[in-house]
Structure 1
Amino acid sequence: MMKKTLFLLLVAFSFVYIGDAQECMDCHVSDMPIPSPVYPAINASFFGSHININTADAGLSSSDCTGCHYNVNTSSIPHGPVSTYTCEDCHQQGSALRVNNHLKNANISVNVQCYDCHSKTSSLFKYSASASAAHYGMNAGFGISPGEGYCAYCHQNSSTVYKDVMQNPNNILVGNHTSDITSIYPLHPAGSPNCTNCHGQDKLHGTNITRPLADSGFCNNCHLNDRIQKNKHAGKVECIRCHSEVPSDVHSIKYILPNGSYQGINATKCGSCHVSNFSFRLPFSAANCTSCHQGSGLIKFAQAPIIPTPVNHSTNPYSGALWNGSQPAYWSNASQQSSCDYCHGNTLHDPEALGKVENIRSGNMPNQGITSTSYWCANCHYSNGASGNYFYNAFSFYPVPPEIQNKTGITPAAANDGTSFFNHSLGEWSDKTCLQCHGNSSQLTTALFVHNVAAGGGGADCASCHDIKATGGPLDKRIDIAAFNNSVHYRLNRGGNSACWACHGNGAEPDGHPPEYKSPRKCSNDECHSLNQKYRAPMVYSHFKNASLNDNPGNAVNLNVTTGSICEECHANSVKTQGKNMRSTASHYALRELPDSINCIYCHLNKENSEKWGNATLIYKNRTSLVELDRERNKFSVKAGDFIDLGFRFRLKLLEISVVRGNAIIEILKDNVPVDRSLINIGNYTYEEYFTIDNSSVKLPAIVLNVTEIFKSENTSFIQFEGFRLKRVHAENNTISCYLCHVYARPEIRLRVIERVDRDKDDIFYTRELANFTNKKEYNETTALLILANITENDMYINIESGKRKAIFEGERWNISENFSLLLKAVNTESDEAFLQLQAGNLSYEDFVGRGEVFEYTPGINYTGYQSKNITIFSAKVSEIIQTKPKNMVVLEEVVALSPDIKKIMENETIEGYNAGWLWENSTLVAGRIPQNFHSPQIFGGRDGGGDCLSCHGTEGFVEKRIDSLGRHKTLNGGGNNACRACHGGEEGTKTHPVGYKTPRDCRSCHAATRDNYNAVYIGDEEHKNEKCEACHVPRSHDIIGFNMLPAVKDISLLKQGNRTIVKALAVAGYKMKIRGARYYIDTPEEKILMSPVDGIFDSQTEEVFAEIEISNMSPGKHVIYIESMERNDKWGIPASLAFTREGAVLRVENDKKLSYGTFPLLGILAAFLLRRLVQKK
């Protein structure tokens, strides 16, 4: 028995004697003062339920005290320590009123002491809670009979004095299990259970109240007979685990939420729990199958089996409604739970959690290994007999699942995503067989498999199902593997099945179907052949759809040639085997050897070829589409009074801008003839013309301007606009002409990548390929151009390959390139060995080589800057050695020559228009005047002339109108292209032919003008200006001849007129030019004396001139008189001379005759006349 000992210090008074029996209250009526009050006085008037505990008298006596303080001796005062009975000593083991509940370790157990509650009934608190409860505590009957109200006094009372002793603070507001639903609808079948229904009816310490074990067995005392029977989930999950967070939650039942927390229903109306048809539904989202069985599940349910997330009974996005045909959908893909419900039904309160799946179980085991004797799949999808665990029972489900051979007759011919039905005529139908095509990951058990099923097929061996000779793949998803092995993609990604993974996946070996098996890569679209070359696919730059948006690597509009057709439309023409559609045909069967695509006119002039090859634009027909005036910067400005070229014979003149009206007057000229004058505002302006299209006359926009700015100030006025025009109709019918405007031409160069070093930004090392006889496409550009100049629109294949053999005579040096040559030094007498010497820059190598052997030079070259590497820069096979006359010779084959000058670029750079990022070891690229093919970066959208006239019309150009000499105009306007612009117009930066390029300035515009004449010789005041200049000065187009004709002097004579000596002569100018002066000198030119015209004025082509000679100071003897004449600009002719002798006062000419006194001879005039006739004839 437990005792509680009280240590009391009692003080005896002098009048108390030892041995006398005393009443306790004789002392305890007052506080005990020594040494200070250690125990308060007992107030008999407030003494509680324990009064008269031992006697029946009405007062408080020592017998009452000793009932609890059982070892006190009232005859010995003061007494020593006192032992006291506890509440449990009397009320659990003694004869006092029995306490059975609401105490520690009872059925209804509490965690507090008796005095924690009973001290609250005492009127006094002294010494301790225990003492106060024992002395002054009263029976807490609350004045209520046992029952619902009795319990509610503490457990449904927020102001109860007992709330601080509650184990769970929420126990002061305990619900009544059904949320008082009868207060909303009194006839509700749930009724209104109260405390007594579960706990019995008695006082709180009574024996008849109980705390039942809240297990499913107790719950089913009520719920087993529900309309929807409630059992343990899977036969093992107790109700309380889902419906109570703590045991007391059973009073106001709760529901577990998806995050593991709990929530109850606070129903205020029927709609709180019921939908319109009165079926039950929670007003919030509770946990469902996925909460416990997916991901990491819920902590309280760690033993729940976990299935894949998300659940996929097919990874096809249509899976819930893929093969249902005319039936309703099986489940909604928007809800994982709906797929659980379809297969299992509602098994939350079902002891058999598999639900409907149990109907197809047969001999199979849940979550078993996947074997050839497990038939979970077949029992649902295959309705033919098999042994072992096979048991088809798909009609347990609705809608009925698809049967793999359609023996039910309800499986549609095509799924809702268009997939054709595949009849699974297989050898056997075990789960292991299904896994081969429908496995989606590393699935080890049937449970993991059926909850993560791939959408049919898959696996690394694509050909085993999809070859036309295989049986696994659907008929419309099979290809001819034999034909594919001859296609251009055969070796893609190492070939075989790896080629399939490259286009239909990420290139890696897949577990099932590769990730993009239904949406394979496209040829362009930045996936393979433009920008993204994961498999080193050849990069295309032009002639594909949206090529103008491909800026390698940016996506800005450029001049690449864009087509309206996808790649496959052309490449499908190269195949013999047809696929499901054009794309699959081209990707699976396109051949390696395609038609040459360097003959532009094959597609662009021939209507039949155009239609066959992607509807190529027929360049000779009028078209309705517009193109920017300048595709690089389509923004123009023109000042008032100025012209601006619009291209293709059009130009615009801004006449005037109005400040008041904010508009402008423009004039459109075609071939320098005004064709339209309009008042324009900000916005659109269109000039239209009639065009013939398909034999009909159609009025179409020829020029469209979008005016963006009209500006006027005191200093300047201008407009700004964007411009568009109709695409040009081409009169050219020669492929070489196409190259002229659509190829970025340069002298031919071939480059080869030596090495690509992997870094943050790769270094790419390359060099020039000087010769390569092993390349089938190598050609001599000059020879090839001659061939291409003569091909027609019917030539599909053009052979421009150069020879693959080179003969060298003994002693001959083959100059392969600048500073790179091969010398045959000697041939031995047996004709079986040759001595060759290679000179490559500053490198030299020589060696003897026999017939059939290879002469090779591999020096170490430090092109990286930190390490020398051996690079073969020359290799040639000596195929023949011949003794012949006059010199022996060798014949070389398989020649490859590389420049030792190796250079570097970065992967983010371009080289000759090629994106260096997609160049790899041994990649070769060619730039020149002939594109490699029509995907070359050298091909662009074309130009209409431009500032670089000589690139087209110079000696290296392609056009028929090539200029090899400008003659006297070579230095005109600074020479070069500036000379062209002087006559044909335009400016250096112009993008098109200038407006007047077909009507250049004539000779008079310079030579008879005083302004803008480029300092030309002025003949505006000469009759010569009216003649046809080309007859004499332009023997060939543009080759201007300047005759440099000088005026001549004829018929010099000395005449004696009285005492005067006169010299006369006939001066003759060039054709229809004028003599402007004449002069003479005697013996030496130190002093030249002007002569005069006989008729008094220099104004004709021939002039008689004279002067008086002073001979008085002339020494005797021989002398010579010289006469020269001038046309203009101080340009004097070659002097003519006459020798004479002075003999006294007589002058004798050289022919021993004295001076003549006759008339002026006409011989000179006759000579000038004959010269003129000769020039005219020429």
Structure 2
Amino acid sequence: YSLDGTTYQNPSGVHSTVSCEACHGIYNKTAGEGLYYPQFDTTTKQLSDSIGDYGPEFMSYEAVTKTYIINMDNSGTIDVTVTGDDDDYGIYLSLIGPIDDASGLQDLSTSDRWDGTYCVPSVNGTATFAKGSKIYFPSGDKFYGVTFDASPKSGIWIARVFPRSPGIFNYTITSSHPIRQKPIIHIPWNCSECHNPDANGSLIGANTLKPMPSWDNQGLSYTHTDYNSDGKDDVTCRLCHNSFHDISIRNCTDCHIQRPGGHTMANYYDMGYTGCMFCHADPHFEPEAAAGGNCTDCHLEGGTNATAGLPIISKNGFFNSSHYNITGDFNASNYSDISRVCWGCHVNYTEELIDPVHTRRATELPDCEDCHFNETPLNGEHLRKIPPIQIPEHQPLGVDVQTNISTNCTFCHNNSLSILIPTINVKYAEAKNYVSHYVDTANLMTTTNNTTDCWWCHVDNSDNDSWGKPTNPFTSTHNHTPLNLINSIACYPCHISNKVMDNGSPKAGFTFHNDSMAPGAGNDCVSCHDLDGMVREQYQIDVHAMNISGAIHYNLNRGAADTLDPSNGRCWACHGDGNGSEAAQPTGHPDNFSTPKNCGDRECHNFNQSIFYEPMVYEHIRYVDNIDEHVNTTAGCPACHKNSIMNNLDNLIPNDTSLVSHYGSTWNLVNTSDCIYCHLDEDNAVKWGDAPDPRNHTHYAFVGKTLVAGRPWKLVDNYSITLVETTRNAAMFTFEKDGEMLQRDIVSQGNELKFEISGIEDENTSIVNLTINRIFTAKDHYVVELSGNVLASRIHRETDNIACYACHDREYRTDLPDGRDYYVLNKDNENVTLGLMPINFKEDDKKLLNMGEYWNLGEDYSLYVADVNLQSNAARLQLYRNKTLIEETVINEGSIFTHEEWVLEREINVFGAKLDCVFAGTTTQAIILRDVWLIAGEQKILDADIW
């Protein structure tokens, strides 16, 4: 119970001169302060503190209690009270003393047989320990209370506060006598607390060059040798240094009792640890890094200490390997010089010149790629060849051609060594070890073809484990079965750049590690895919047929710059990458080589125009509804365009899209303004995309409707239904078209009101099919509720193209009931504005005009033939409005004279005429005009839903 503690007797070891306070005191490491105790004064009788804010861990030396010392000086009785900020928080307060009385501690209550420590539990956050108060002691599982009846002796007393509740409790402790908080004895938590690179002041003797590792959860620290090669040290500090109070440094031979290989010195067992450190340096940090910079004395066959048990390199094998002189220091007669060759891989060459160390760990040694796929390799400034031979391809990290990650450099190069694989004095029996020290090129693949014989590896030896089971091109993911491959020569066009080829074979010195290797294919598409190319027939294209001027894609990407065959430009546009230029194409197949642009899938010619500015198509295609247009089809582009194909010699065409994309033309396409040709001729319809007959094409909508008697319900195509009258359970209807009654019917509630007309086929066409749901009858008021399907599209009865144009050509309108022709000037969701066409020639109409003749076109327009020239088959025509010349032109036979004007905020051709023929006789000069039209005069605005 001594406040100053007990002095440790007879300390030994390196800590014998270290004071107790240096380890156990409350000190500052820089100043080296030791343990100190607070001095009492006469005024400090109250302290503020908190408890519960400390969680103990392994090696915790602090406690969850708070301890205070009280100076009892014979002046009255003792009184200690703790008052906190939380009435619900529970604590215990204990008191013992005097601790400096030689006769021992005082019994605070003589009325019981208990002579241990008494305590007081808190009530409402307060606990008091005073003479005459209740104090408690335990017995079994119960507390017993007695009276504090002893008169406290003079001396130092100790009060402790213990928490009984979780959380933090802030409190004030008040004493009747001077009080101070008792200091806590420090227990060192780690060797590194003192032994670290920052130690100074009175702790300077504990300074270390490197930090020591911390203790683990079992209180152990490991900082000596990794004998199981797991990357972590395996020997604890105390195995060599004993306990804290008896720190010592044991000799290495206390453990290393068997002489290791290479240790030929006579006094091995008498050596102290300092003798070992000549080679092994600091035992805390990689002691296996022995021997400094002289590698060959121990590890090269013939070295002074190269004895059994050490890893030993074959002298003959290394001297004849490709790596024998990577640093340029090799000297066959000087082992020290040869050691510097080892430095090229095993250490930092520059640092080795200053502070020699042993090799890096095996896991930290460079891989082949660290030098041969790296322009700034380890020790690059000390290598004989800077950078070393670079291997960008045919390795796991290859730029274009990668091998399986398990088939690394050493897998193949282990087949070509300067000696047979050694079996003795080998620590790492791995291909990397053998290749690094003994690699040569004598037996790589075959001696005659070396690394240009693709077939030898990938076909003949594809199952050979010693060569890493090279990928078989006929069974791999990139199946080469479709290609006409019979030997390595067939591989070169796709896998070797033309830049290193000479008459179809690689130039001398080429290997498959060369950066001219390619992952496959290439940007010269036609060299492989033209007829009789290297690919199988199903992938061949008749390039000649695509080069005829009538071909649909003849001009596609024709301006692309290329150094190969110009025909590749078309391939790059659809199958290639980027902007379709040669420069944008990869060395292998582009990403979408097997999924080219497809007009049928909205990738060109519609919706979004590509960078190749192809002609755009807005109507009569699939998916038109997605671009807010109106004429949608179910047939794709190839369904029609396959009827106009260039002659070709391609015998295996996989589908219509491929057929049209490669060989489509415009020579035999149907007249796109001849609606009847496709839609009313059954044979033509099948040939041109199964075009539907509009006369039998209807669309229905489900509706719910309430009809009031006498109010017609107007339907499409000028049909209407009118409720006439109702009874309690039936209703009378009339069905009309264009104001003419077609049918009168009486239908009971729950039954159906139907009306049909004859279609162009055997089945009838339904106009309405409605169920009578409810009937309401009152005096002079009749109402019905009905629901069902009604015709939502007009019935097509037209059988000539002009009738089709009236609705489906937004630029044209004819056949209004007034018998005159009109042109669509504007149309929106509500109205359509039509312009009168005073003149609108039909297909067979023509007009003969003599030179000098005026033709009154109507609406104050006139055309004058000013001159006729037979030699040039031309005429000079003048167009007047209100007798004022507004347009004059000279046109040749077959040409069209047009005049534009602004109408409803857009510029349109309001007049047009084709000069069909020029006639010049002896007495008559005349012309014949066809296809004449004029838009002028009256404008009509109609409801867009019924026009």
Instruction: Give me the TM-score of the superposition, normalised by structure 2.
Output: 0.45
The structure having more radius of gyration, on CA atoms, is 1
TM-score between both structures, scaled by the size of structure 1: 0.37
